[in-house]
Structure 1
Amino acid sequence: MNKAIRHEIFTRWQNDNPNPKTELEYSTPFELLIAVLLSAQSTDVGVNKATRKLYPVANTPQAIIDLGIDTLKSYVKTIGLYNTKAENIIKTCNMLVELHNSIIPDNREALEALPGVGRKTANVVLNTAFGHPVMAVDTHIFRVGNRTKIAPGKNVLDVEKKLLKTIPKEFLVDAHHWMILHGRYVCTARKPKCGSCLIEDLCEFKEKTEIDSY
């Protein structure tokens, strides 16, 4: 995989979807942070169902604190690991109120200091809420990076570093969303839909399928 091929791959994705967005529903950086915290090992669809009920009632750190842990759990109980996630959300909201005047910080160190926020979650918030050119590598991006050979790596940090190094700068802010959507809907885990893939001729995956359903 060389520079010219990578450029063509991202050019095609950009032409097909000029303004890619996360499928998590949010209207503020705080709502995004909470949605991402809830999304670990869960689907965006499931998270959105919960937050559509939660956010009209409480969508600020203080409002979440005022709900209390038990009421918060009642809103997110349909989501996997909801007990731990709710506890982390309450702790995070307390830190945001006490240390950040209820404002979501736009730097990695402060974000990763929040309970339940790891590197991937911090990267999602930095990229999606604040437009930082960072890569949040989830299972979809890890798979696409390795399968296509855009950025092969043994672990998520390897793939993240290679993507940051090799993706042309003009595509970097949106690359996270293009790769997630590609992995979620086209380059799927079990049966990739190679027959309807925009980059099939550029991809280095050796076991291509002929499934055309998009």
Structure 2
Amino acid sequence: MNKQKRLEILSRLRENNPHPTTELNFNNPFELLIAVLLSAQATDVGVNKATGPLFAVANNPADMLALGVDGVKDYIKTIGLFNTKAENVIKTCRILVEQHAGQVPEDREALEALPGVGRKTANVVLNTAFGWPTIAVDTHIFRVSNRTKLAPGKNVVDVEQKLIKVVPAEFKVDVHHWLILHGRYTCIARKPRCGSCIIEDLCEFKEKTEI
């Protein structure tokens, strides 16, 4: 895909959604971190249903730590892998309290050292909570990037590195949100809704649908 076509795709996505953000509900960096940690193999809707009551009683590491593993489980038991996630939440909160004065560190290495936090989660937190131009690549972004040929790659790291290379600076902070929303609602996995896609004429996907 050439530079001009990429620029037009990104411009259209920006025009359609000038101020995109995550669909996870959060009020501070800590809530975002926990929500993203819980979102693995779960829907944002499902996570929001669980974190609403949870954050009402514990919206900081100290209060969450006070709940204990079993206390956290009571709030997140509707989410997949809740046993492991509850343990990771408590371990993470202990580290935040003991090593970071109860604050979410604005540092990739420190974030990735937290239990249950990988590169993708760290990228989301750095981008959405702190405004870094990081690009977290999940299954939606991987699919959209490869289908459109915006930034094709064999794996999520390849796609992330390609996006960082080809996306102009003015779009970098928001491109993660545009692509994930596009993949979630338009360029869906089984049968993409090409007929209602705002970038359909620019997309290089060969098996387009009329939906």
TM-score of the superposition, structure 1-length normalised?
0.98
- Superposed, 1:47-196 pairs within 5 Å as 47-196=47-196
Q: Post-superposition shift, 1:170?
A: 0.5
Output the CA distance in 2 between the equivalents of 1:184 and 1:62.
Answer: 34
Q: Deviation at 1:168? A: 1.3
* Offset, 1:107: 1.1
Spell out, residue by residue over 1:77-135, the C-alpha distance to the aligned partner (whole angstroms, 9 max, x if none): 00000000000000000000000001101110000010110000000000000000010
Q: Secondary structure at the match of 1:56?
A: helix
Q: How many Å separate the matches in 1 of 2:186 and 2:101?
A: 42
CA deviation map 1:65-84 (0-9, x unaligned) = 11111111010000000000
> Aligned pair count?
211
Q: Partners in 1 of 2:107 and 2:24 — Cα distance?
A: 21
1:14 counterpart letter in structure 2: R
AA at the equivalent of 1:29: P
Q: State whether structure 2 residue 172 is matched by structure 1 residue 206.
A: no
Identity among equivalent positions (%) equals 72
Query: Match of 2:56, SS?
Result: coil
**Residue of structure 1 equivalent to 2:38:** 38
Question: Aligned equivalents of 1:65 and 1:172: distance in 2?
Answer: 35
SS at 1:59's partner residue? Answer: coil
Instruction: Provide, for residues 147-184 of structure 1, a one-character-per-residue CA deviation record: whole Å limited to 9, x for no partner.
Output: 00001111000000000000111000000000000000
Which runs of no fewer than 5 residues in structure 1 stay unpaired? none
Aligned-residue CA RMSD (Å) = 0.4
CA drift of 1:141 comes to 0.2
Q: Tell me, in whole angstroms, the C-alpha distance in 1 between the residues paired with 2:64 and 2:52.
A: 14
| d(CA) in 2 for partners of 1:197, 1:128 | 25
Question: Distance between the aligned counterparts of 1:21 and 1:169, measured in 2?
Answer: 17
- Partners of 1:5 and 1:135 in 2: CA distance: 20
